[in-house]
A and B are shown apart, each in its own frame.
Chain A
């Protein structure tokens, strides 16, 4: 069973508001992935980290999304100015290595009104 912790489980924001969610990876996992899962069950990779360093991120992430994984603190994903289309389940996954099995948290369900 995954031990990835994500908070909050639910987040409701108005358009234009900031939305911030956090992830605590499994102990000893230096790699963290963020994915967005929409209501049609389509997954979109957003960004990944190894320790505190960004490995890769998609263009969308570079514009309104920001993320970090500081040492000794939870990782976070923040949407600077939420849009209705950002409503989705945001999943955090951690792994021992970039090509190792990814263990997912339960997700943060964001609703942008």
Chain B
């Protein structure tokens, strides 16, 4: 079973609007990562937020982390069509430092 889960499963927005994806996790973490996977590509890391951080920004992206509720969110402002992708949160497990991914949220940005 996944250690991290995103919600919603899928959503669509129009270009220029903002979108937020949420993630909940079940284990103690040292950091949480957000990845984006476009069609035909592998996942690409967007933001890494450590357990002692509450917020992290990267351009139009903003991630938050609430360790008390074991949840995180990723917000994208001023969305563009090229932001269309599946967004995953991921945590690093102690086993081989492998990543455990959530099931992903598909975000579709419409023109």
Q: Which residues in A have some Cβ–Cβ distance to B below 8 Å?
A: 1-2, 4, 33, 35, 40-43, 45, 48, 55-56, 91, 93, 98-99, 101-107
Contact = CB atoms under 8 A, between A and B. Distances in A.
Interface of B: 2, 40-45, 48, 86, 88, 92-93, 95-101, 103-104
Nearest to B33: A101
Given A33-B99, A43-B99, A105-B42, 16 more contacts: A1-B44, A35-B98, A41-B86, A41-B104, A42-B2, A42-B103, A45-B93, A48-B98, A55-B96, A56-B95, A93-B42, A102-B45, A102-B99, A103-B44, A104-B44, A106-B42
A104 B100 contact: no
Given A42-B2, A45-B95, A56-B98, A101 B103 contact: no
A59 B41 CA distance: 27
19 contacts: A1-B44, A4-B42, A41-B86, A41-B101, A41-B104, A42-B103, A43-B99, A45-B98, A45-B99, A48-B96, A55-B96, A56-B95, A91-B42, A91-B43, A93-B42, A103-B45, A104-B43, A104-B44, A106-B42
The SS class assigned to the B binding surface is loop
A43 B89 CA distance: 12
Most-contacted residue by chain A among B45, B92, B93, B97 (CB, 10 A)? B97
B97 A98 contact: yes
Contacts of A107: 42
Chain B CB within 10 A, most for which of A98, A103, A104: A104
Nearest to B40: A106
Given A40-B103, A42-B2, A2 B98 contact: no
B103 A2 contact: no
A99 B103 contact: no
B5 to A, nearest CB: 11
